[in-house]
Amino acid sequence: MILVTINSFPLWSVVGRNFSGLSFDQRQYSCWGQFLHMICISVTPESRQLAKVDIYNAANQCDLVEVCLDRLHKEPDVKDMISGSKKPILISCRPPHEGGNFDGTEDERIALLRQAIIAGPDYVELDPATAMKIPRFGKTQRVISFASMTRPLQDVEEAFEEATRCKADVVKFTWPTETLETAWPLLAVVSQKRMLPVVGLGLGRSGLTFSLLGRKYGSPWIYAALEKGMEAFPGQPTVGELDDVYRWRQVDSKTRFIGVVGEGVVEQAVSKILNAAFDIKGMNTRCLPLDFKSLDQLPKMLDILKVPAIIATSDAGHRVMGLASTGDDIAKASQYTDVVIKTPEGWQAHNLVWKSALRSLEEKLGKQSTEDRPLDKRNTMIIGSNGLAISVAHGVKRRNGLVSICSGNEVEAQKIAAACDLRYVPVAKLYDTLVDVVVLTTNTLDYGSKKTTLNPSLLRQGMTFMDLSELPGESFFTQQARERGCKVVEPAEVFVGYISALFKSLTGHDLPPDAIAQGLLE
């Protein structure tokens, strides 16, 4: 018996003994190869008429349609509802304790599932207790589901024995995957050699991470929502995300993943552009969103997954810096990194955004040649106390600029000023301080219980302004700077410079212009 837990984390012995570091073995799927490379779109209709529309739309974008019956307001005619689908149908009806929304009695739910099976879907999802009450009928295959909404399932081997007693054709495990650590046991279950195909569904922030890794390591299908607002579970990725951002259809057992730590617009833009570039260049490499609880097990997990680099976006640079044993001067000085790359000597940190930012800033200030120093003796105000602020401050100082720093976290700003030999400006004096250049690395002065909004009156005609806080988008302050007559450094220009340098450092190749166009369309 194998006991998979998080706290003691005996998963490493499982990895070494049973599936050689999550290495995919095509032979184990020879008896059910028809399952490979499938995507299952979950539709969660509330009316019978909308169900047919959702099924039709989903069938155009997937290989298998899951029709969740638990949100329907009226008892459906399942046979009529699924009759027009040109793709296989999986029927499910989950109670609330398994993440569903069925609000009737258990007898009513079982009756609905019996009716659904008579309609002849290709698959029906049943929990073990329900499966023992519903015999096999017709050609409908049985997906025996084990769902734990609070933690990973502890006794996986016992679950497989129970699934066999329930006459399973496919076994499904569902549990929370908020971080890579909690997604790992689910990936282990999917990756091990079994007599029955095993499907996983990860819930939470790392559900997308699990889906992409599950595709690489042999999950028969992965789940997606048709569109935003139609998720079967919170955080479920949409098929559009998987297609447009992560290009999941090209992921196979030999795909190399580059980790991306962060969230929001920047993470999506970085992943979309880099994945487009990898595709254009014919590289079997894709970005993998990562979130982790601590650095304790991360290096070993990255080694097993053969991840050669991690990109840090937004405020993740400090967390990822802890992985590195060495780095460039700015990364070490700021304790902040944009990317860490695995080398024979260990993980090496690099800091790239500040270079692109200062290059664009100097061009806006009129730099004509390599000898020009347009920041020399100019007063530059940096707002923020994060790693990016420290990186930019070091870069400006190298160019003989006169640097001031201001932040809502005034204690931290004073520490940075003392450590880096900068001028500290209190928030109360910010609007009275005359400067030539303003660089935002955060667009708010709020900190803790202090709620001080950054006022655009800071921006004056003739000033040069650069906002790095919402790359690659254009912020409210960038718009205000234009209206007030400032010289504005375009955020998209800074971002393109950064992503170009990032791709070069990862691959040694220039970033294809078409990849930039595809990534910045939105």
- pLDDT score for 16: 36
In this structure, the answer to whether residues 341 and 423 fall within a common structural domain is: no
Angle at 158 between CA 154 and CA 163, to 5 degrees: 115
pLDDT digits (tens, 9 = 90+) for 41-61: 999 888 888 889 999 999 999
CA distances from 256 to 283, 288, 405 (A): 9, 9, 41
Q: Give 380's strand partners.
A: 403, 437
Of 217, 252, 287, the domain-final residue: 252
pLDDT at 36 over 60: no
pLDDT band per the 50, 70, 90 thresholds, residue 74 = confident
Q: Give 381's strand partners.
A: 404, 438
Straight-line distance from the first to the last Cα atom of the chain, in angstroms, rounded to the nearest whole number? 50
CA distances from 278 to 208, 231, 311 (A): 19, 29, 15
Taking the C-alpha atoms of residue 232 and residue 255, their distance in angstroms, rounded to an integer, is 28
Mean pLDDT in the chain?
Answer: 87
As a whole number, mean pLDDT of residues 491-512 equals 95
Q: Is residue 469 part of a domain?
A: yes
- pLDDT score for 372: 79
In this structure, the answer to whether residues 124 and 147 fall within a common structural domain is: yes
Q: Which helix or strand (DSSP H or E) is residue 174 part of?
A: strand 170-176
The answer to whether the peptide bond before residue 185 is cis (omega within 30 degrees of 0) is no
Pull the structure tokens for residue 296: 């304790």
Query: What sign for the dihedral angle of Cα 174, 175, 178, 184?
Result: negative
pLDDT at 18 over 80: no
Secondary structure (H, E, C), 418-447: HHHCCEECCHHHHHHCCCCEEEECCCCCCE
pLDDT digits (tens, 9 = 90+) for 140-178: 999 999 998 888 888 888 999 999 999 999 999 999 999
CA distances from 165 to 111, 138, 169, 291 (A): 21, 18, 11, 37
Q: Is residue 364 part of a domain?
A: no
In this structure, the answer to whether residues 184 and 88 fall within a common structural domain is: yes
- pLDDT score for 15: 37
pLDDT at 7 over 70: no
CATH number of the domain encompassing residue 247: 3.20.20.70
As a whole number, mean pLDDT of residues 282-310 equals 95
Angle at 220 between CA 182 and CA 228, to 5 degrees: 65
In this structure, the answer to whether residues 102 and 175 fall within a common structural domain is: yes
Q: Judging by DSSP bridges, how do beta strands 339-343 and 309-312 pair with one another? A: antiparallel
In this structure, the answer to whether residues 472 and 505 fall within a common structural domain is: no
In this structure, the answer to whether residues 234 and 325 fall within a common structural domain is: no
In this structure, the answer to whether residues 53 and 151 fall within a common structural domain is: yes
Taking the C-alpha atoms of residue 472 and residue 375, their distance in angstroms, rounded to an integer, is 24
In this structure, the answer to whether residues 87 and 158 fall within a common structural domain is: yes
Residue 57 class from Cβ within 10 Å (0-12 exposed, 13-18 middle, 19+ buried)?
middle
pLDDT at 35 over 60: no
Q: Is residue 321 part of a domain?
A: yes
pLDDT at 452 over 70: yes
Q: Is residue 399 part of a domain?
A: yes
pLDDT at 350 over 80: yes
CATH number of the domain encompassing residue 431: 3.40.50.720
Q: Are the C-beta atoms of 51 and 76 separated by less than 8 Å?
A: yes
Q: Is residue 124 part of a domain?
A: yes
Taking the C-alpha atoms of residue 383 and residue 362, their distance in angstroms, rounded to an integer, is 18
Secondary structure (H, E, C), 79-133: HHHHCCCCCCEEEECCCHHHCCCCCCCHHHHHHHHHHHHHCCCCEEEECHHHHCC
pLDDT digits (tens, 9 = 90+) for 354-388: 999 999 999 999 877 777 789 999 999 999 999 99
- pLDDT score for 160: 92
In this structure, the answer to whether residues 188 and 239 fall within a common structural domain is: yes
SS3 31: helix
In this structure, the answer to whether residues 336 and 454 fall within a common structural domain is: no
pLDDT band per the 50, 70, 90 thresholds, residue 199 = very high
In this structure, the answer to whether residues 406 and 445 fall within a common structural domain is: yes
pLDDT band per the 50, 70, 90 thresholds, residue 77 = confident
pLDDT at 29 over 50: no
Where is average pLDDT lowest: 30-34, 140-144, 426-430?
30-34
In this structure, the answer to whether residues 76 and 145 fall within a common structural domain is: yes
Return the closest-CA partner of residue 148 out of 99, 213, 214, 204: 99
As for how many domains the chain has, the answer is: 3
Domain residues for the domain of 216 are 29-252
pLDDT at 451 over 80: no
Q: Are the C-beta atoms of 73 and 46 separated by less than 8 Å?
A: yes
Q: pTM for the full model? A: 0.87
- Give 4 or 499, the one with higher predicted confidence: 499
pLDDT at 395 over 80: yes
